[in-house]
Structure 1
Amino acid sequence: MPETQHAKGQFQGTFAPISSHIYPVLFAIMAVVFILSNIGAAKGVQIGPLLTDGGFFLFPVAYIVGDIISEVYGFKASRRVIYTTFLIAAFASLTYWIIIILPPAEFYDGQEALIRTLGPVPLIVLASLVGFFVGQLSNAWIMVAMKRRSGERYLFGRIAASTVVGELLDTIAFSAIAATVIGIETFGQYVVFVLIGWVWKFTVEIVLAPVTMWTIRKIKVAEPHYGTVTGD
């Protein structure tokens, strides 16, 4: 598929329109995974000498979905998902806060557990929002910028390069805010937390890259109008 030229600083490439039935499904998956990972991240997890959080196994999925959206639908479509997911997560955090401050019924004996579980979530959400915003936008930007230069070739390279940068920025931003919330007290623990989080997320996405690439190819074939949208 020939590579198009760009104008006025906007990305150019071949993509599918967001009016398809597949785009909203990916949109919903991104939002759900991000919110669940925020709840899980409120728990500090230690596996042997390794420190991480309870959402460690979920968050890489958000980047895999982000890669699929960026590759198939372009930067504007990906940016729309990122902004909306950002707002949904903020609303979820507000909802948790309201649930906590509502006066408990006399028979309800779980208030303390509820506060302990959901109380840190707003701070975790703040950390996640900052990390998600910076990481996902850079991930999408790199993915689409490289596609503009290489066309449909080098998909694995686009996934790997965007993941290295996006996941690193995400992890640094998230950890800087969330570390103390989940019980990390020293700079050494913080560095370990960042490195483990980054290496884990990057490794998962690279290991699953063949599945991501297969999914992207299937979606491109399933999208009857893929390639009709040029420029981004």
Structure 2
Amino acid sequence: MGVVEFLKVASTIVFVLAAALNAVLIYIVSTKTRNKIGVYKYMIICFAVCNIVYSATEYTAKPEVVAQKTTVYWKPTMGLFAIVVMMLFTLVIMILRKVAMSAKTISIQHQLLRALITQAIIPFLMSYIPRFLMFFFVIMGYPPLRIYTFVPLVVASYTVLDPIATIYFIHEYRAAVMKIVGRLILMRHRRNISDAITEPHNHTMDTHPTTGH
């Protein structure tokens, strides 16, 4: 399998996983969220929708890295930097806030904080760093490397990890997923038992045909 074929298959897998996982996250957030989380659920839903749109865009557009000139697009670069700064300020404010809350509310806030930190780390490692290194080496005049071809796929892969991190760190969502998985396993187990009971009965009917009078 060549590089192009591998990227097509991997892009399809990433898109399917991202769409499925984020759809599950949207369903869980919409139906299983308690009042303690409040407006945070809308932010989580927005993240999930953006993940689906991003993965779909990567899947349909199949972006390629073209390295020809050492041009720096300052507006997008400054925009990404501003987003990172805003995320850092949000984290600092959440940590430094001194608000009287119940133990349950504090626990939920800690869960949300861990999920938010993870949601900041994942794109930083899988989006900002790969693109920064690629842009840096191109700007410095190094010849394009074949590994640059995988950068768009790596960037899109964070749309799969993002919902997993949210579900893992927020106990309510993790419990909801475990309950859904448990129900699916139970339904499959019951269907297997039903098939196992039906097969011997059908076999008996076949080996003892009814004779006419």
Q: Which of structures 1 and 2 has the bigger CA Rg?
A: 2
The structure carrying a bigger strand percent of its residues is 1
TM-score higher than 0.5 here?
no
TM-score (norm 2): 0.37
